[in-house]
Chain A
Amino acid sequence: MSDVTFRIKRFDPASGEPPFYQDFVVPVEGSMTVLEGLFAIQEQQDGSLAFRYCCRSSICGSCAMYINGRYRLACQTNILHMGVDRVTVEPLPHMPIVRDLVWDMDDFFAKYEAIKPWLIRNSELPDTELTQSPTERHKLNMPIDCILCAACYSSCPSVWTEQNYLGPAALLKAYRFEVDSRDEGGKERLPRWDNERGVYRCHTITNCSEACPKELNPTEGIQWLKRAAVRRRLLGHKK
């Protein structure tokens, strides 16, 4: 058991007060995670602390935060493994705050919706499954593991500077359908991302790939989309 200081960025926009940092000392042992530390504070020291949580096993994407200057899932971050005696916890940077560590995700999901993130089929469906070879299916491996935690979105300078930019998560989703052998929505989806609001606003800074707690590579997906767009302009639509 050792004492670790949690320095938490607090903010209540309704209060009229500016954001501030508040320290809490938490006794930490063994496998305790940052999320568990936040619960310990909420339960024993300050019932007003606000944060998102759900699965506590790094699959739901609720608890992406900025922890000691890095994008992390609070539930996946073992406190002692960080080897520090102070843990600074901030909400994802550059995002509008609801309260404390909770930020307003409406824009993030509006952009997700904007790229038509669903399988588009125009031809008739068979009575059984649409077949897909293992090789075709492998192309989906990276993008389908996105948990929509928005760490990438918060880390992207193009998002910071252009509020209409769709951002890495939405574009990764577009890529996920573009590379799906079953999808027939290429033409329909193209105008959603083949523009300044879309892939061309990505300046390959690759913060997104560094920030991703699932170790995915949104930049790779966006670059693929750029190539596909150029190919389509030169050769016409294939699907």
Chain B
Amino acid sequence: MIHHQLIVVGGGLAGLRAAIEAKDAGVDVAILSQVHPGRSHSGAAQGGVNAALANHPEGHDDNPEKHAFDTVKGSDYLADQHAALQMTTDAVPAIYELEHMGCPFSRFDDGRIAQRPFGGAGYPRTCYGADKTGQYMLHTLVEQAYKRHITMYIEWFVCRLIVEDGVCRGVVAYSMTKGGFEEFRGEAVIIATGGAGRTYSTTTNAIISTGGGAAMAYHAGVPLKDMEFVQFHPTTLYTTHILMTEGCRGEGGYLLNRDGERFMAKYAPKAMELAPRDITARAIQTEIDEGRGIDGKAYVYLDLRHLGAEKLAERLPGTRDLAIHFEGVDPVYEPIPIVPGQHYTMGGIDTDVDGRTSMPGLLAAGECACVSVHGANRLGGNSLLETIVFGRRAGTAAARDILGHERSSGPDGNVGAAAAAVEAYVDDLASREGTEDAYAVREEMTEVMRAHFGIFRDEATMKEGLDKLVGLKARLKKAKLRHTGGVWNLDMIRTMELEGMLDVALAIASGALVRTESRGSHARTDWDKRDDERWLRHTLACYEGDDPPKLDYTPVDMGLFEPQERKY
């Protein structure tokens, strides 16, 4: 057993920021991460991070209230309004702090942090470092973690929470490089493991974005909130679904259909290509579905040619590299074939603005959590922001609890029991009948999610999808480990994570089927209007073992902005 006062699961931006805050408060903190923190999926974020710095000439009267309004309107009014305002208010000092830590933001001529326009935003308020903002932010926080000598357990796969008497006491983790399971116990655990994009076959997400942290909390009895809201990014590469940043359109890129038409004029005449992601993704999908894809195929063009080689080199160098390496297209000379793809998990572990969950000792921050600030549709540039704002707040809250002795480590009577339970479970995985193939189940699940819970949804399709997921869950129980070795056992990791993925997928599916309205990313062809009277509320999915999740509902925090029809 290893003890640290605070255990942070996940070394991306939210986890790092939480750990830094707690460490600075004097807490003994350790980060456990499946990959070196510098390899976390935060690093794949490209376009930027929102904050009302008012550095842009066209944004001189921008402020956190306007940023909050755009966020709430973008969320289709499902975001908790005071939480959104908290985030946009914290945003400004959070960006200055990151800059002081050395983050290499791009600059305006006057030397201040550069900002670019982004979808659904009334002002150009997206701070950026070329089109590698996530990588630069992530490396900056990794550097700060090293500076503070924060303990990092690198390449440890966390598989279970340790819960005793309804209190979170730690985690069980697998050492990938040494083999074996270990208990990590502490006074608080912060989950910061990112999104669940890999439940879909067509996603921008990293291979490790499996929703593992959310699944752990869910299995332990903490509800998942608003899971049916899944963001599809409008522009991902046709063959690989690798992200082409919204910054492409922020810098002036066009979306074109078969006829060379800037079709966004039909869907968002004012905002055009800079409409929010839900609207833009639906527009692209509609063009494709109605046969206006390029040469009748299932993609449209993202055209950057008119921006010129110089601007691409300055603002979008990574985009150009990705298009060349992964699609064989040089955007300086050719338009890029793109399709919408799964991109972001708006829902997640139900938390308050300080990252606290319903379980004492358990907090969560970042994409795995749902505060909620993104509601039914997240604005581009608000996810990086969420990680540093709510990572810090969770770190502060955990430190306050630990240092205030509100949480004690409790009796150690059960030490070893949780790790032994995981070992027994793995033995069971190895001795199952083995009539099913876990990787086939995984592939089918991701296809079900794409086909049945995609951009456009309807009752019959979703019902069929839900039934398929239930069947897959039963089949997974008959899949057997093929490899039982101790060190770097990918077969074991991938089989274990698949169980969590299926339950997360079921939470998405169950919430989506019941919500008989269209709101933000949840677009139903059979219920095509937003219904505030019945559905202006958050979904809470509670794990019920082999039964489908129990769905509960809580009110949305209002009071700042009256819901109105979204027009862009």
- The interface of chain A, by Cβ under 8 A from chain B, is 12, 14, 30-31, 42-44, 47-62, 76, 98-100, 102, 104-105, 109, 112-113, 116-119, 121, 125, 127-134, 136-137, 140-141, 144-145, 147-148, 177, 180, 182-183
Query: B145 — nearest CB in chain A belongs to which residue?
Result: A118
Given contacts A47-B490, A60-B35, contact A119 B102 (CB under 8 A): yes
Answer yes or no: B461 CB below 8 A from chain A CBs.
no
Number of B residues with CB within 8 Å of any CB on chain A: 60
**A59-B43, A59-B132 given. 8 additional CB < 8 A pairs?**
A47-B490, A57-B326, A60-B43, A98-B487, A118-B144, A129-B100, A129-B112, A144-B129
Question: A60–B206 contact, CB under 8 A?
Answer: yes
Q: Which of A55, A112, A130 contacts B99 (CB 8 A)?
A: A130
Q: Give bound CA distance, A177 to B316, whole Å.
A: 23
Most buried by A among B39, B53, B242: B39
Given contacts A118-B102, A121-B100, A128-B96, contact A56 B207 (CB under 8 A): yes
Question: B483–A48 contact, CB under 8 A?
Answer: yes
Q: Which of A31, A44, A54, A134 contacts B107 (CB 8 A)?
A: A134
In the complex, chain B residues whose CB is within 8 Å of the CB of A54: 35, 39-41, 206-208
In the complex, chain B residues whose CB is within 8 Å of the CB of A141: 130
In the complex, chain A residues whose CB is within 8 Å of the CB of B242: 56-57
Query: A148 — nearest CB in chain B belongs to which residue?
Result: B38
- The interface of chain B, by Cβ under 8 A from chain A, is 35-36, 38-41, 43-44, 53, 95-96, 99-102, 104-113, 129-130, 132, 135-136, 139, 143-144, 146-147, 154, 177, 206-208, 239-240, 242-243, 318, 321-322, 325-326, 439, 481-483, 485-491
Closest 6 CB pairs between A and B? A119-B102, A131-B111, A47-B482, A47-B491, A47-B483, A50-B488
Q: Give bound CA distance, A49 to B53, whole Å.
A: 49
Q: Give bound CA distance, A148 to B105, whole Å.
A: 20
What would 9 A/B residue contacts be, using CB atoms closer than 8 Å?
A12-B485, A50-B487, A52-B35, A60-B39, A61-B38, A105-B36, A130-B99, A131-B112, A132-B111
Q: Give bound CA distance, A189 to B196, whole Å.
A: 41
Q: Give bound CA distance, A95 to B154, whole Å.
A: 18
In the complex, chain B residues whose CB is within 8 Å of the CB of A121: 100
In the complex, chain B residues whose CB is within 8 Å of the CB of A119: 100-102, 143
A51: min CB distance to chain B, Å: 8
In the complex, chain B residues whose CB is within 8 Å of the CB of A62: 35, 39
Question: A125–B439 contact, CB under 8 A?
Answer: no
In the complex, chain B residues whose CB is within 8 Å of the CB of A132: 107, 111
Q: Give bound CA distance, A118 to B483, whole Å.
A: 41
In the complex, chain A residues whose CB is within 8 Å of the CB of B135: 59, 145, 147
Query: B487 — nearest CB in chain A belongs to which residue?
Result: A99
Q: Which of A52, A134, A144, A180 contacts B136 (CB 8 A)?
A: A144
Question: B100–A130 contact, CB under 8 A?
Answer: yes
In the complex, chain B residues whose CB is within 8 Å of the CB of A113: 146
In the complex, chain A residues whose CB is within 8 Å of the CB of B177: 98, 102, 104
In the complex, chain B residues whose CB is within 8 Å of the CB of A147: 135
A111: min CB distance to chain B, Å: 12
B227: min CB distance to chain A, Å: 24
Question: B206–A56 contact, CB under 8 A?
Answer: yes
Query: A113 — nearest CB in chain B belongs to which residue?
Result: B146
Q: Give bound CA distance, A147 to B239, whole Å.
A: 24
Query: B102 — nearest CB in chain A belongs to which residue?
Result: A119
Given contacts A55-B43, A132-B111, A137-B106, contact A99 B488 (CB under 8 A): yes
In the complex, chain A residues whose CB is within 8 Å of the CB of B105: 129
Question: B112–A48 contact, CB under 8 A?
Answer: no
Given contacts A98-B488, A118-B144, contact A55 B132 (CB under 8 A): no
Given contacts A60-B206, A180-B102, contact A55 B39 (CB under 8 A): yes
Given contacts A57-B322, A59-B132, contact A129 B35 (CB under 8 A): no
Question: B112–A57 contact, CB under 8 A?
Answer: no
A98: min CB distance to chain B, Å: 5
Query: B205 — nearest CB in chain A belongs to which residue?
Result: A55
Q: Which of B101, B108, B243, B490 contacts A42 (CB 8 A)?
A: B490
A38: min CB distance to chain B, Å: 10
Q: Give bound CA distance, A117 to B141, whole Å.
A: 11
In the complex, chain A residues whose CB is within 8 Å of the CB of B243: 57
Question: A31–B240 contact, CB under 8 A?
Answer: yes
In the complex, chain A residues whose CB is within 8 Å of the CB of B106: 134, 137
Q: Give bound CA distance, A127 to B53, whole Å.
A: 12
In the complex, chain A residues whose CB is within 8 Å of the CB of B485: 12, 48
Question: B36–A109 contact, CB under 8 A?
Answer: yes
A209: min CB distance to chain B, Å: 17
In the complex, chain A residues whose CB is within 8 Å of the CB of B486: 14
Q: Give bound CA distance, A52 to B412, whole Å.
A: 35
